[in-house]
Chain A
Amino acid sequence: MRFIKFFGSLFFAVFLIGSLVAILTLSTVLESIFGTPFVQRTFYRAVWFNGFLSLVALNIVCSALSRFPYKKHHVGFVLTHFGILILLLGSLLSRLYGVEGQMTLFETQEKSAMLKQGFRLDVSGAGEHAAVDLKSHGNKLPYRLPAKTGVPRVTVVEAIENARVQTVLREGNRNGIPRRAVNASLSSERAGIKQDITLIEKDPSNPHSFFLDLGPAHFELVTGPKSSADGRAALLVKRGEETASVELGGNSGPVPLGSTGLTISGIRYYPHAKVDGGKLVDSPSDTPFNPAIEFEVSDEHGRKESHTKFHLFPDFSSVRGGKAKDAFGLETRVLASEPEEAAAAGPSFEFRVTPDNEWSYRSRSSHGDTSGPFRAGDTIETGWMDMTIKIKALYENAVVEKKVSKGKNGTPGVFALRLAVEGREEPVWVTDARPASEAVAGDRMDFRISPTSFALPFSLTLKDFRKIDYPGTTNAASFESDVALTDAPAGVKLDRTIQMNRPLDYKGYRIFQSSYVQDEELGEASVFTVTKNPGIRLIYGGAIIVLIGVILLFYWHPFFNPAVVVK
């Protein structure tokens, strides 16, 4: 009884409300300094905040109990406080079981999953693969990924939400294997461009570093003469003095490796290889940007070795499963034509370098071609878009280092993780903007951060997106999307239009138009927010009960107990 009296007392209520005012004031001030994610983490989504709200609930329950048994004039009081409890219960339900995510759909695209807040870290190497959802572990660092046989143990050491990543180059001897790179600054007043670019030959952490597309403009580092071959590739396998060469593209059945008794089979060619989930996946295009070959080698006793060989990374072992599994001692190489130049739709600029490190450029656009030699420190007029290029530094044996630093509080940036990997001294940095591929104990490991995906019980297709402007301006008056929602198991197909402030409801999910993309190359896309808010009915109901209670309390109550009225 004393317990109920204390926790239900007016003193305790005023103390709690006063504390809440102070806490919320502090949090909004901190939010303006450190940004929204900070306060969401330290205040609103923190465990202690839930604990505080539980105290509020306790106070309300106790104060309601302390007036028991109720008389007629308690109606308003009881309704008000009971309503607040329902409201709190509803928000708890929404907090625990609510879902919110984003879905970006280009026109004619169909998706049945959305991206939730939070990240997933994928680690793969030696044909093994581990993944972890990072959101639930966001606060407990260092976090060790679950052990997997054959994969070195990975620990998440540091997470930076607004990281700035800079590629830093320095000249260094890399066992005599050249790696050329160029660092230049682009500027164009007309296009509003002023930025630094770094193009790197055979960058181990990003095979695409040798080119950059800026809007319609294409920049590329061209190393060595372009072959006139038709883009075919060949596989060369050596053991001692015995050599086998397999032409790719046609029929590639089992091929014997000289007189060694080994057979090469199961050959598969990927002109533009991508690693996804620890496996090579089908190329998005046939342009040989990153040629790779998968094959198997077997001997007379039926022993097998699986290989993956990348053209751009000749010095990496091709044996899957690490050096330990290398039973046959093979040397492999992929012979391929140099990566083709991208279809020259827009203007392009090539930094060309010969094996003797002679630099020259070639600039192409609809206005014609220009070319010539250059050296570090030169400024080159491209002849298009008023673009000038200042060559800041040239490298012959570049060592590529990623410098990751924390951005200023509240500034946008990429999400970056610092990982400690067993068998590797230096840390591995991986960001959500770019996967990393690093050497670990003589083997390759791939690291990738991707947004957490959430499967929906339906699929959505964007048929048409429209942006409607205020007449005579480019200010948007409204956006709207024609969509088709399909729920195959339920046999449902809906054709609807989603507008700002006019969402689509289906099976407890609401789909909102939250943003859009209009891109000359990619086309139009809608960004939808998809939510599920299971406690909302309780919240609405609770709030209405509170309102009725308060009105009774303020305007009806006096008739029952005139003594309480302030005269």
Chain B
Amino acid sequence: MTAMLKRAVLLSVFLAGTLPAFAAGFTENTVVRHNGRVKPFDAGARQTLRLVAGSETWNRQKAAAVVSGAIARPDEAATLKLIRLDFWELKQALGLPKDEHFFALDELSSRTGAILALVQEAKKKRDADEKPSKLEQKAEQLYTKMHAFEELTAGRLIERVPGHDTGLDALRIRAELLYFRLRPFECAAAAYFFAFLFLGPFKKRFLTLGWIALAAALAFHTTGIALRVFILSRPPVSNMYESMIFMNWALMVYALVFALVRKSLPALSVGAFVSALVMVYANLLPIDSSLDVLVPVLRSNYWLTIHVMTIVSSYGAFGLAMGVGHRHLFLAAAGKLDAKEATESGALMFRVIQFGVILIGTGTFLGGVWANESWGRFWGWDPKETWAFITFLGYLIVIHLRYAKRINDFYLALATILGFQLVLMTWYGVNFVLGRGLHSYGAGSGGMQWVVYYLVFEALFVAFVFSKKPRTF
């Protein structure tokens, strides 16, 4: 809570426009160009240090201090153990000590030949459409770090640009400084967790606190998204990270609306819990959370924006249904679900799924419209669009069966969980597991382990529910 207060103070600093000065040529708010975008030095420094050293601080020093020092005294910087390398097989291959995690550029430069050999082997494999070995991939990453570091100390990575100190530009710079200090999504995740507790399990004693936590979470969440949109002048769904953050924002909006319309708290507390988890996952997965420019085909376009936002918000609806489904099954397994609450929860899940189906159907159609406007074909069975279609069909089966009264509330709850696995495949799996197709921009690889943990959890959860032999009414 005190951390949040501190951030609130920072907000007022932002409005007043005074920021602490910094030594050695660059200050945190010096306007620079980095990665094709004008930004405050602090932002460029954090991103660079995160790339090179794997964290936004090094040796308890702030990124801005480390990076401006490296630019000012390149020779000295080359002797500092700044470059992170964890993969011990690579250390072994390069003859580096196994127990160290940071290495100096000079140390690594003397091994450039060996590193380059691995990098070229990786490139050869990629050209032949083969997957490089883990060792080669790590060598590529190391080479990228070394290259970035060299570019940095040569003064080419971060360059001072004059003439952005007035009007909207200046405001953007200040917004970006604020974004990095506020850490809005981390605060929101914490607040969502409290909201879940106080609106859910402990609602009898802490209901008011729950509402306050929820309001704070929504405020941080919305502010974070608004800052990103303002800083980057683009819709908030341009990469995996942004889509995760936007998905649970949409989820919370639906939860709020359903809670107010149906006058029931479960949607809100469950929604807050799912949101907190999604935010934690967004930070755990090895995906790009930086503020970077886009490839041309994703450049701001009316249809693209509507298409992606519609699809991602449908994930939000399915995520909410999935959360409520868990609650339903858990209570059923614990024998604490009476008929009235089961009906209410079933109706909620069905309503949310209906809404999600409309959204994913519309969003997929709009994707076709965008594809037709961009490259002249409405539908091409690209894996991403095929999987969006599969997800749509999966929930369509649920809706048909429900209309025909062939599945009851218990199995509907089970269906929300199964359906969400389809969502996950569309959203994450196509890019990261299948790794093919037109929608692979901004995709990376890895993070599989976290997804596998989730899948294992779901399997165990369902097994647990059935082991309790609940009344499946």
Q: Is the CB of B402 within 8 A of A566?
A: yes
Residues 20-44 of A, flagged 1 when their CB comes within 8 A of B and 0 if not, give 1100110111011000100110011
Question: Known contacts being A411-B128, A472-B36, is A547 close to B358, with CB within 8 Å?
Answer: yes
Q: Is the CB of A547 within 8 A of B361?
A: yes
**B301, B304, B361, B375 interface centre (most CB from chain A within 10 Å):** B375
Roughly how many angstroms separate A32 CA and B387 CA in the complex, as a whole number?
13
Roughly how many angstroms separate A554 CA and B401 CA in the complex, as a whole number?
14
Give the segment of A237-245, A301-309, A322-330, A473-481 that binds chain B: A473-481
**Which residues of A sit under 8 angstroms from B390, Cβ to Cβ?**
21, 24-25
Q: Is the CB of B346 within 8 A of A27?
A: no
**Which residues of A sit under 8 angstroms from B347, Cβ to Cβ?**
566-567
Question: Known contacts being A14-B401, A539-B378, is A28 close to B387, with CB within 8 Å?
Answer: yes
Within 8 A of B (CB), among A503-519: 503, 510, 512, 514
Query: Is B369 positioned at the interface, with any CB of A under 8 Å from its CB?
Result: yes
Query: Is A529 positioned at the interface, with any CB of B under 8 Å from its CB?
Result: yes
**Which residues of B sit under 8 angstroms from A514, Cβ to Cβ?**
375
Question: Known contacts being A533-B377, A533-B378, is A21 close to B393, with CB within 8 Å?
Answer: yes
Within 8 A of A (CB), among B396-436: 396-397, 400-404, 406, 430, 433-436
Roughly how many angstroms separate A91 CA and B379 CA in the complex, as a whole number?
9
Q: Is the CB of A408 within 8 A of B129?
A: yes
The A interface is mostly helix, strand or loop, or mixed, namely helix
CB contact between B299 and one of A25, A500, A540 (< 8 Å): that residue: A500
Query: Is A471 positioned at the interface, with any CB of B under 8 Å from its CB?
Result: yes
Question: Known contacts being A501-B373, A550-B361, is A475 close to B434, with CB within 8 Å?
Answer: no
Query: Is B69 positioned at the interface, with any CB of A under 8 Å from its CB?
Result: no
- The residue in chain B whose Cβ has the minimal distance to the Cβ of A555 is B354
- The residue in chain A whose Cβ has the minimal distance to the Cβ of B344 is A567
* Chain B interface extent, by class: 35 or more
CB contact between A500 and one of B159, B297, B343 (< 8 Å): that residue: B297
**Which residues of B sit under 8 angstroms from A551, Cβ to Cβ?**
358
A506: shortest Cβ distance to chain B, in Å? Answer: 13
Query: Is B37 positioned at the interface, with any CB of A under 8 Å from its CB?
Result: yes
Question: Known contacts being A503-B373, A533-B372, is A10 close to B400, with CB within 8 Å?
Answer: yes
- The residue in chain B whose Cβ has the minimal distance to the Cβ of A39 is B381
Q: Is the CB of B358 within 8 A of A478?
A: no
CB contact between A471 and one of B33, B129, B354, B365 (< 8 Å): that residue: B33
CB contact between A477 and one of B299, B369, B389, B436 (< 8 Å): that residue: B299
Query: Is B470 positioned at the interface, with any CB of A under 8 Å from its CB?
Result: no
Q: Is the CB of A17 within 8 A of B397?
A: yes
**Which residues of B sit under 8 angstroms from A27, Cβ to Cβ?**
381, 386
Q: Is the CB of A32 within 8 A of B299?
A: no
**Which residues of B sit under 8 angstroms from A253, Cβ to Cβ?**
none
Roughly how many angstroms separate A551 CA and B358 CA in the complex, as a whole number?
8
Q: Is the CB of B350 within 8 A of A566?
A: yes
Query: Is B362 positioned at the interface, with any CB of A under 8 Å from its CB?
Result: yes
Roughly how many angstroms separate A554 CA and B317 CA in the complex, as a whole number?
16
Q: Is the CB of A533 within 8 A of B358?
A: no
**Which residues of A sit under 8 angstroms from B343, Cβ to Cβ?**
566-567
CB contact between A566 and one of B299, B346, B396, B430 (< 8 Å): that residue: B346
**Which residues of A sit under 8 angstroms from B379, Cβ to Cβ?**
91
Query: Is B35 positioned at the interface, with any CB of A under 8 Å from its CB?
Result: yes
Within 8 A of B (CB), among A447-504: 470-473, 475-479, 500-501, 503
Query: Is B24 positioned at the interface, with any CB of A under 8 Å from its CB?
Result: no
**Which residues of B sit under 8 angstroms from A43, Cβ to Cβ?**
381
Roughly how many angstroms separate A94 CA and B379 CA in the complex, as a whole number?
10
Q: Is the CB of B296 within 8 A of A500?
A: yes
Within 8 A of A (CB), among B340-368: 343, 346-347, 350, 354, 357-358, 361-362, 365, 368
- The residue in chain B whose Cβ has the minimal distance to the Cβ of A500 is B296
Query: Is A410 positioned at the interface, with any CB of B under 8 Å from its CB?
Result: yes
**A25, A473, A501, A546 interface centre (most CB from chain B within 10 Å):** A501
Query: Is A113 positioned at the interface, with any CB of B under 8 Å from its CB?
Result: no
Q: Is the CB of A470 within 8 A of B393?
A: no
Roughly how many angstroms separate A18 CA and B159 CA in the complex, as a whole number?
57
Query: Is B376 positioned at the interface, with any CB of A under 8 Å from its CB?
Result: yes
Question: Known contacts being A18-B397, A28-B387, A512-B376, is A411 close to B299, with CB within 8 Å?
Answer: no
**Which residues of B sit under 8 angstroms from A472, Cβ to Cβ?**
33, 36, 159
Roughly how many angstroms separate A220 CA and B163 CA in the complex, as a whole number?
55
CB contact between A475 and one of B293, B381, B435 (< 8 Å): that residue: B293
Q: Is the CB of A31 within 8 A of B397?
A: no
Query: Is B394 positioned at the interface, with any CB of A under 8 Å from its CB?
Result: yes
Q: Is the CB of A546 within 8 A of B372?
A: no
Query: Is A531 positioned at the interface, with any CB of B under 8 Å from its CB?
Result: yes
**Which residues of A sit under 8 angstroms from B350, Cβ to Cβ?**
566
Q: Is the CB of A478 within 8 A of B159?
A: no
Q: Is the CB of B377 within 8 A of A32?
A: no
Roughly how many angstroms separate A522 CA and B347 CA in the complex, as a whole number?
65
B66: shortest Cβ distance to chain A, in Å? Answer: 22
Query: Is A345 positioned at the interface, with any CB of B under 8 Å from its CB?
Result: no
Roughly how many angstroms separate A29 CA and B435 CA in the complex, as a whole number?
10
Q: Is the CB of A547 within 8 A of B362?
A: yes
B30: shortest Cβ distance to chain A, in Å? Answer: 16
**Which residues of A sit under 8 angstroms from B346, Cβ to Cβ?**
566
CB contact between B383 and one of A31, A100, A479 (< 8 Å): that residue: A31
Query: Is B290 positioned at the interface, with any CB of A under 8 Å from its CB?
Result: no
Q: Is the CB of A100 within 8 A of B436?
A: no
Question: Known contacts being A28-B387, A100-B376, A546-B361, is A17 close to B400, with CB within 8 Å?
Answer: yes
**Which residues of A sit under 8 angstroms from B374, Cβ to Cβ?**
500-501, 503, 512
**Which residues of B sit under 8 angstroms from A44, Cβ to Cβ?**
381
**Which residues of B sit under 8 angstroms from A21, Cβ to Cβ?**
390, 393-394, 397
CB contact between A510 and one of B358, B376, B389 (< 8 Å): that residue: B376
B309: shortest Cβ distance to chain A, in Å? Answer: 17
- The residue in chain A whose Cβ has the minimal distance to the Cβ of B370 is A501
Q: Is the CB of B36 within 8 A of A470?
A: yes
Within 8 A of B (CB), among A247-282: none
Residues 150-174 of A, flagged 1 when their CB comes within 8 A of B and 0 if not, give 0000000000000000000000000
Query: Is A13 positioned at the interface, with any CB of B under 8 Å from its CB?
Result: yes
Query: Is A4 positioned at the interface, with any CB of B under 8 Å from its CB?
Result: no
Within 8 A of B (CB), among A79-114: 91, 94, 100
Q: Is the CB of A477 within 8 A of B35?
A: no
Q: Is the CB of B293 within 8 A of A470?
A: yes
CB contact between A554 and one of B358, B365, B373, B435 (< 8 Å): that residue: B358
Residues 295-325 of B, flagged 1 when their CB comes within 8 A of A and 0 if not, give 1110101001000000000000000000000
Q: Is the CB of B36 within 8 A of A478?
A: no
Roughly how many angstroms separate A16 CA and B194 CA in the complex, as a whole number?
45
Roughly how many angstroms separate A174 CA and B343 CA in the complex, as a whole number?
89
B378: shortest Cβ distance to chain A, in Å? Answer: 6
B388: shortest Cβ distance to chain A, in Å? Answer: 11
Chain B positions near chain A (C-beta within 8 angstroms): 33, 35-38, 128-129, 159, 293, 295-297, 299, 301, 304, 343, 346-347, 350, 354, 357-358, 361-362, 365, 368-369, 372-379, 381, 383, 386-387, 389-390, 393-394, 396-397, 400-404, 406, 430, 433-436
With contacts A14-B400, A477-B296, A566-B343 known, what are 10 further pairs, Cβ within 8 A? Answer: A10-B406, A411-B128, A470-B293, A475-B36, A477-B293, A510-B376, A512-B375, A514-B375, A547-B365, A567-B347
Sampled A-B contacts (21; CB under 8 Å): A18-B397, A21-B397, A28-B430, A29-B434, A31-B434, A32-B383, A91-B378, A91-B379, A408-B128, A472-B33, A479-B296, A501-B301, A530-B376, A533-B372, A536-B378, A543-B365, A546-B361, A547-B358, A564-B403, A566-B346, A566-B347
The 10 A-B pairs with the shortest beta carbon distances in the complex, nearest first, are A531-B376, A470-B36, A32-B434, A473-B36, A44-B381, A411-B129, A543-B365, A510-B376, A28-B383, A10-B404
